[in-house]
């Protein structure tokens, strides 16, 4: 398949729109919690169940620590123990609210400008 400059530019634009719009989407039929209180979200959370994914494969004792940054974003520190390699691992990222801070619709990034959705659907 031959690509010309216009085709390559169009593909790059479509990729950029897909990547950057995906960070602010929410699954169909789901609604993010409103009247969300960021202060109650901050702190250390312990994972009690999950579906395995590439970045946390072979890990247990996983936690997420959320702390407020001065710019209003949230520092995210995910940590866990890789029981096959016998090492502790951690990843540090940043979460930002997609809209108002009282709606639990956030985007999180561990890799520079690339964000993924991080939404709260239920508070018990």
% pLDDT > 70, the chain: 80
pLDDT of residue 13: 40
Mean pLDDT of 105-114: 90
Mean pLDDT of 94-104: 94
- The mean-pLDDT minimum among 17-21, 63-67, 96-100, 120-124 falls in 17-21
Mean pLDDT of 78-102: 95
pLDDT of residue 24: 55
Q: Band of the pLDDT at 22, cuts 50, 70, 90?
A: very low
Count of Cβ atoms closer than 10 Å to residue 83 Cβ:
11
**Angle 15-51-65 (CA atoms, 0-180°, nearest 5)?**
85
Question: Is the pLDDT reported for residue 12 higher than 70?
Answer: no
CA 101 distance to own-chain centroid:
16
CATH code: domain 5-119 is: 2.40.128.20
Its pTM stands at 0.74
Q: Which of 57, 95, 44 is nearest to 74 (CA)?
A: 95
User: Can you list the alpha helix ranges (DSSP code H) found in 1-84?
Assistant: 5-22, 38-41
Phi and psi of 65, rounded to 5°? -110, 125
């Amino acid at each position: 398949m031959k690509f010309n400059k216009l085709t390559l530019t169009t593909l790059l634009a479509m990729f950029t729109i897909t990547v950057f719009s995906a960070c602010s989407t929410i699954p169909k039929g789901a609604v993010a919690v409103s009247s969300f209180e960021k202060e109650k979200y901050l702190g250390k959370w312990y994972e009690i169940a999950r579906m395995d994914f590439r970045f946390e494969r072979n890990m247990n004792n996983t936690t997420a620590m959320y702390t407020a940054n001065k710019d209003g974003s949230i520092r995210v520190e995910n940590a866990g123990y890789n029981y096959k390699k016998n090492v502790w691992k951690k990843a540090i990222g940043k979460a930002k609210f997609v809209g108002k801070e009282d709606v639990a619709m956030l985007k999180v990034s561990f890799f520079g400008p690339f964000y993924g959705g991080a939404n709260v659907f239920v508070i018990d």
